Every structure is written in C-alpha cells, then in structure tokens.
Structure 1
C-alpha cells in the first residue's frame, strides 16, 4: 500500500513551556522535511497529501475544559476528514504531528467506518482523565484516555462515536515502570508492555504480544508513535523526557515489525526548538524511514 504523507502541525494539546511561549512541536513536520524524511519516503513511493493547520494556540481553559478545547475539536474534525479521504483513496496515512492530541482525529476517522485497534507506542500511558485527576487540561497527556472514552464527552464522544477504540483492541507499549496510570491501563486495555519489558524480553517477543491483541482487531489497527518512547540520552527534543526509554535500534525494530499490518500511523511530540543543530531530526528521519517504509503493506 502506498503511504500518504499528511502534516498536522498542532501544538494545541500541550502546556506552554514557559510564560509567553508556545510548544515547538508544531514545527516538527517541516524540521523532518529539512532532515530528508519526505524526500526519502517519496523515493519509496510515498505521496505528499498536504497539511491540516490548527487554530491559534492560547494558554487558557475554563474549569472542566481542556486548554484550547474548541480549537482541538475543530482541528480533529478537519484532520479526521482528511485521514478518511486518504484511506478512501487506497493510501496508508502517515500523519506527522504535532502533539498527541491528533489521536482523537485518527480515532474519529476510523470509528466512522467501523471498529479498529490501536497500538499506542509512547513513553507515557497518556491516561490522565477526570476520573483519576483534578489536573486535566492538556490533551497531549490525556489522549489515550480520550481515545477509549474515559475523558470529557466534548472530546471523547464526538458525533456520539465513543469510544473511538474499544479498550480490548488497544495495546500500549513503552511507558516507564513508574508511570502513574500504569496499573489502571493494565486493568483496562488489551495489553500494556512497559519499556523495561521490551528491553528485557526483546523486540521480537514484544511485537508478537502486540500483534496477538491489536492484530486481531476487526478493521486492522492504527499505529501511534510518540517519540518520547526513546530514551532522552538519544532523544531529548520532546516535551516530557523521562529516563529508561528505548534506544533507536529497539524502536526501529518495533516499528519494522508492526508497520506492515497497520492501516496508518502518526508521529508526535518531536520539538525542533530543542534540536538546535538538527541532529535529532535526522536521527528520527532515519528511524521512520527504516521502520515505516512498509506501512500498510499487509493491512
């Protein structure tokens, strides 16, 4: 299947890194272009299919609402339409974010056409929600909870389609052993595989376990990648770096095993503002080309 490259340079789901500043991950698609990602994927047959621009970032939220909630919902609807269009054209969407809030758009697009699985590769479970925290405000740290219907309906139940992914069809992999929501996700999702287990048991066994769950989903599975799954010693250019992450070879191996059967994928949270010489962008481009070259081949 041919890859359809779509940029979604949103930073709406993140808290500001400092007063009067905005998160830099909106610059990620163009930083990856500069690092050669688009050219290299085009040489493998990928098609560029444009960009879905977000609304203006504003660091404000009313009680019981997300930061930038209206803009997030509006962007999610437009991005979902574009993802659906790529799939209707027979392409495997590869969405370059942006922050993790774009998972709501992917979930909405897929739920419109049936039931699908989700492989959530992330350094955090992203499972903060109103039922376990009074600090809900930034969807990029709450995206998985929203995707399985555990968040405020304004974001988790667009068009009455909650949950976008049935929890039984979802696998999370890559969080650290000290993740606050680790036990809750283990009790709810189809499988949860921390980074320590991937390192201990090996990439091949982890991929096999992921495919045992998500690979059985009725309509195939979507592949979410937050690059903070990598250890900050090799990828410090993210919003919330935590130690004990994967190394580039482990992540590349995991993507290589999972991408062929995925119906699409997204890449999130790379922050070019934290990559002044472009070296991390080039590393990420290498990982994505090697790991996602066969995206959708066997879907």
Structure 2
C-alpha cells in the first residue's frame, strides 16, 4: 500500500542567534524556498500544513540558561497539535524547518503516540547543556533536550520526559570533533554515536541497517529522521548557519536515507538549517532538491 506524503512547514528561527550582518536567521525561508524550486509539486504531497512562527527575538532566560525557551515551547505545543490532528498510520511526514529546535514539537508528538526511535543525522551532535553553549541557542542543544538532558521546562513538556530514550537514538555525522568537552557529552550518554569518521568506517548503509535492526529488536512503535543539511560537505551545501568543511556527499546521503524512508515504521523526516540567504540563485538548493526527490521516490518501493 502506498503512503500519503504530508508536508508540514515550521519556519521557526528562534533556536538560532543572528549573525552581525543579519536582521534574523534566514532559515525561516526554507519552506518557501523549496516551494519556489518545485519541491512541493514534485513530491506530490497530499496535504501541506503550515504553522507560522513567532517574531524573531534573542531573549535570554535565566531559569533555563537558553534563549527564547518560552516561545519555542509554546510553538512546540502547537506543532504537536497540528501533527497529531493530521496523522494517519498510512502517512509519511516531511517536516520543513526552520532550525533544529523544531524537533522538540515532533518529539512531544511521538512520545504521545508511543515509544519511538530517532536517527539524528547532523554535522554536530547538538547534545550539550547551556553552560557549554556560546550562543545559548536551543538549536544547538535540541538532541539533549529531546532525550531528557537539560532544564525540566524544556525536557519535560506535559510531563512526557524523555521524549526519546537515549538508547533508542543514533547520532551520526558529527564533524566537530576537536573539542573534547563537547564530544564527551554524547560519548558519556547511552546514545549510539557515530562521528563522521566512524560513520564512514562503519558504512553508511550498514549504519542505517543497524539502526533498523535495533528498531525491530526493541519492537519500537516507529522512528523519526532528523536531517540537518550541514551534515553535507561544504562544497555541496555551504548555505548553512555553521559551516563545516568536512561532511558526507549525496551518494552517502542516499545510502543512509533510502533504507530508512522505505521502512514502514518511519514516521517521517525533518529538514533543517538550509538558509536561502546564502544561496541567492538557488544553485545548491536545486541539486539538494534533485537528490531529495530521488530519496523520497523510494518511500513506496
């Protein structure tokens, strides 16, 4: 039976800190940018839903040690309502950010639906406490938040902590490995962690297969994929908030994602951090879309 694709647009940028030359981070333009280059039409989505985000701010909250937590928590609640209202067992959700903090809303949703796994594909771990964050932006700590590390205000929305169990998470692709204190946070957790070097050594398809084997062995209700485009090599995707020289290429991306999206237990995927302001003519975006279309063709295969 074929699956119906629903697109959810969550143009939130409150998890990022604007750069000096910016009025606000441009990641909020991502859904409209992909639409401009034909992604929505070509993906043949059955439904497209959108939740407008609060105005940009950089309000520091002493209690949590983060910026904009109340607005992000409020938005997460509305995200969850929208996803749950339009969820069916035969649907596949493509969630377009925005920054990585949109994961919180989906995480809350999935905890309400059962016990889910998470495949976190990102050029960073995003698994730190505020004390290690220079920006205090929640987009750099979202993996920690959704797995229960951090202030209760963020990690225990509606008493649902943790949204994902650490041992049900694969974190793959981190290229920021020079900072030992940063990396130690995730190494000392129960998360299955593959930095870029170890992801390459283990094999892209094998890592996806190992994750699916875990999902089956643990009889999880399903799983979700987080894709931060900064996991891609800088030469093919420089239009991101925090550029990293090293990363994976599109063949690697397909090898990882195709078996995941083909699996019937895959709830969906979120795509974050692509910033149209750094890709003025859409050169990098067009190639990205072509590869996404190829990956999503395999959903029903």
Structure 1 counterpart SS, 2:100:
coil
Tell me whether 170-179 or 229-238 shows the greater mean CA deviation.
170-179
1:211 aligns with 212
Question: CA separation in 1, counterparts of 2:145 and 2:219?
Answer: 19
Deviation at 1:136, TM superposition (A): 6.6
1:59 corresponds to which residue? 58
1:138-183 CA distance string (max 9 Å, x none):
1110000000010111111100101000111111011016164333
Indicate the residue corresponding to 2:258 in structure 1.
256
Alignment partners' CA distance in 2, 1:282 and 1:133: 36
Cα deviation per residue 1:93-131 (whole Å; 9 max; x = unaligned)? 11111100011001000101221110001000001214x
The aligned residue for residue 73 of structure 1 is 73
Distance 1:224 1:14, change over 3 A: same
Q: Which runs of structure 2 are paired with 1:176-215 in the superposition (5 Å)?
A: 176=175, 178=177, 180=179, 181-215=182-216
Question: CA–CA distance in 2 between the matches of 1:167 and 1:273?
Answer: 35
CA distance in 2, matches of 1:231, 1:169: 27
- Alpha-carbon separation, structure 2, partners of 1:179 and 1:105: 31
Q: How many angstroms apart in 1 are the aligned matches of 2:7 and 2:280?
A: 25
Rounded Cα–Cα distance in structure 1 between residues aligned with 2:243 and 2:133:
23
2: distance between equivalents of 1:25 and 1:179?
A: 26
Instruction: Say which is worse superposed, 175-184 or 251-260, in terms of deviation.
Output: 175-184
Report the alpha carbon displacement of residue 19 of structure 1 after superposing the two structures with TM: 6.0
Stretch deviating more after TM superposition (2-11 or 200-209): 200-209
Unmatched 5+ residue regions in structure 1? Answer: none
User: CA separation in 1, counterparts of 2:146 and 2:178?
Assistant: 19
SS of the equivalent of 2:188 reads helix
For the aligned residue pairs, the C-alpha RMSD in angstroms reads 1.9
Distance 1:134 1:248 in 2: 30
Helix, strand or coil for the counterpart of 1:12? coil
Give distance in 1, aligned partners of 2:22 and 2:107.
Answer: 32
TM-score of the aligned structures, taking structure 2 as reference length: 0.91
SS of the equivalent of 1:293 reads helix
Q: Does the 8 Å contact 1:170/1:213 carry over to 2?
A: no
Aligned equivalent of 2:155? 156
In the other structure, the counterpart of 1:167 is 166
Q: Deviations over 1:214-248 (max 9, x none)?
A: 45451110111000000111100000111220011
Superimposed CA distance per residue, residues 32-79 of structure 1 (whole angstroms, 9 cap, x where no aligned partner): 11121111101xxx2232201111111221323322222111111111
Could you tell me which of 36, 39, 46 is aligned with 2:38?
A: 36
Secondary structure of the residue aligned to 1:58 is coil
Residue pair 2:37, 2:286 contacting (<8 A) in 1 also: yes
Quote the residue 2:297 is aligned against. 293
Partner of 1:97: 97
TM-score norm. by structure 1 comes to: 0.92
**Displacement after TM superposition at 1:16 (Å):** 0.7
1:187 Cα offset (Å):
3.2
Asked if 2 retains the 8 angstrom alpha-carbon contact of 1:86 and 1:93, the reply is no
Structure 1 residue 282, shift from structure 2 partner: 0.8
Q: Residues of 2 paired with 1:212 and 1:136: CA distance?
A: 37
1:279-290 equivalent positions in 2, closer than 5 A: 279-290=283-294
CA deviation after TM superposition for structure 1 residue 202, in Å: 2.9
- Whether 1:268 and 2:269 are equivalent positions in the alignment is no
